[in-house]
Amino acid sequence: MDEQPMDNLDRIHIRDLRARCIVGINPDERVNKQDVVVNITLYADLRKAGQSDDIADTVDYKAVKKKVLALIESSTFLLVERLADAIAEACLVQAGVKRARVLVEKPAALRFARTVGVEIFRRGPGT
């Protein structure tokens, strides 16, 4: 994911998170779980944590991962776009997260292509 600096916010990357879910519009996609690969970038101010060395001063990325996995695994969305948006929403409610970039890929979506994906960028309230 190509990224530009964003108001000097720091980044936490969760890369290649794999899960299986119902997502798609074709009849077989409505009953058979598919693999998805998710990449997330969380934008936050991590300066305090960098100085304090205290977990309370940073984003709990393990909690983000657990929340995102639960969301994906229970997904019944028709569109990858909606799944990506729901993941971004889940990230933005985590304390300290100001913005989120989410890439959701369906490796088996297109024949002759390694993967197809949707990437979105969302801002939290007031950012």
- The sheet carrying 99-106 orders its strands as 10-21, 34-44, 99-106, 116-123
- Is 9:43 a contact under the CB 8 Å cutoff? yes
Amino acid, res. 71: L
Cα 69 from chain centroid? 10
CA atoms within 13 A on the CB side of 46: 14
Q: Is 48 in the active site?
A: no
- Is 83:75 a contact under the CB 8 Å cutoff? yes
Amino acid, res. 38: V
Which residues are identified as catalytic? 106
